[in-house]
Amino acid sequence: MENTIKLLGSVKNPATGKSLTEENRWVNAEAKDSGEVVITYKRDGIDPKQKRQIEDAIVDALKSNYEEDKILVKTVSQDPAPKAEDKPTAAHANLKVGHGVNGNKKRIPKVKKVIAVSSAKGGVGKSTVAVNLAVSLKNMGHSVGMLDADIYGPSLPILLNKKGSKPEATPEKKIKPLESYGLKFISFGLFINDNDPVIWRGPMLGGVLNQFFFDTDWGELDYLIIDLPPGTGDTQLSLVQNTEVDGVVVVSTPQNVAVADTIKGLRMFQQVNTPIIGMVENMAYFSPDGKEEKYYIFGKDGVKNVAKELEVNFLGSIPLEMVMREGGDQGKPYMADESHKENEGYKSYMAIAEKVAKMNEEKGFFSKLFK
């Protein structure tokens, strides 16, 4: 291991220009029987962009001795974890009121990738895409969770058929996510009554999101998919300020591609160094049962063209299918029903999920997005 630490001597902290060795940041280098090597360093004061630069430098330094995909990097931070002052005591989990934005970005322990599904406009199918992308990733064998960050119009309790269910607290007083269709999920909609006034939800936002991220017992997850409300408001800001989001999937219909709005939305994420994974075109066309022809009800290729213009990946088109809407209303995700396997929509979702997963596997893909 000493040799490994020596190899790492060249790795610098981009913030200071000094080596991590000089700054006494190395915590551990552990070679596992599986051939993996796990490097741990102290991350305090290093922002996500610099963190990615450091990760790339670690891989570069070690790739002569280890296979690139066997090099794992962990960080530790001396900043204290958020503490719940008044932990819930009842069997049911409670939410704390409060702003809770601390501007101190953290990763959710044991969650490998956090992916947000976003759009500039409302009603374009974010929640539908988020759920079906999550189920597709689960169908591929990944462990997947979902976090409904839309506190004004939460959809997941309906889409995942758990309306009226209340999350319980774990013995450690964390929120236990519900499970549905093999997904763990949490939603503000599980904590409120439909008739509760919307007006007091705003001030709770930051605190609630923090609890959903850090006081929820997610366990080990390959992906946590976040269903965002439309636009670029407080939720988006609170999210990117508090949590490290690994990438964003932007959803739009071809018609709603009001270029200015979409650019604004994308810029917001780029400004805070959150990579855009790519764009999904929803409600791209309609084909009557058993017919080949496509009707481009909301216009053709609107999203594809914007993706090209903005130089972001185009992930695919999802047609309008009546069963997709029905599945949503009935709490039976389209992608959880094998009888749709031959439909174009099903194939599109699988292709999109495969692209998302593949990007995740490509070493350094997320960091390359910055360069």
Binding site for ligand ATP (CB under 6 A): 119, 122-128, 150, 153, 155, 229-230, 282-283, 318, 320-321, 324-325, 328
Partner in contact with 274, chosen from ligand ATP, Mg ion, none, beta carbon below 5 to 8 Å by kind:
none
| Residue 174 binding: pick among ligand ATP, Mg ion, none (C-beta 5-8 Å cut-off by kind) | none
User: Whole-number minimum distance, CB 156 to Mg ion, in Å?
Assistant: 9
128 belongs to the binding site for Mg ion (CB under 5 A): no
Token pair, residue 8, equals 């790492």
Whichever of 194 and 292 has its CB closer to Mg ion, that residue is 194
Instruction: Decide whether 126 or 174 has the Cβ nearer to ligand ATP.
Output: 126
Count the residues of the shown chain that bind Mg ion, applying the rule CB under 5 A.
3
Alpha helices in the chain (DSSP H): 2-7, 48-62, 126-139, 156-159, 201-214, 234-242, 259-271, 302-310, 322-330, 344-361, 365-368
Identity of the residue, 98 or 153, whose beta carbon is nearer to ligand ATP in the bound complex: 153
**Residues 125-151, buried b or exposed e (16+ Cβ, 10 A)?**
bbbbbbbbbbbbbbbeebbbbbbbbbb
Give the residue, chosen from 127, 136, 256, 360, that forms a contact with Mg ion under the rule CB under 5 A: 127
82 binds, among ligand ATP, Mg ion, none (CB under 5 to 8 A by kind): none
Residue 170, number of CB atoms within 10 A of its CB: 14
Tokens of 340: 């749709």
Distances (CA, A) of 29 to 2, 41, 66: 9, 9, 13
CA distance 276 to 76: 26
Decide if 166 contacts 367 (C-beta within 8 A). no
Looking at beta carbons only, is 71 or 268 nearer to ligand ATP? 268
Nearer to ligand ATP, 207 or 328 (CB): 328
Pairing between β-strand 26-31 and β-strand 37-42 as defined by DSSP bridges: antiparallel
| Nearest-approach distance from CB 337 to ligand ATP, in angstroms | 14
Question: CA neighbours within 13 Å on the CB side: how many for 106?
Answer: 20
The interface partner of residue 318, options being Mg ion, ligand ATP, none and the CB cut-off 5 to 8 Å by kind, is ligand ATP
Q: Which of residues 155-174 bind Mg ion (CB under 5 A)?
A: 155
d(CA 238, CA 245): 11
Nearer to ligand ATP, 48 or 328 (CB): 328
Q: Work out how close the CB of 58 gets to ligand ATP at its nearest, in angstroms, rounded to a whole number.
A: 38
**Which residues sit at the interface with Mg ion, rule CB under 5 A?**
126-127, 155
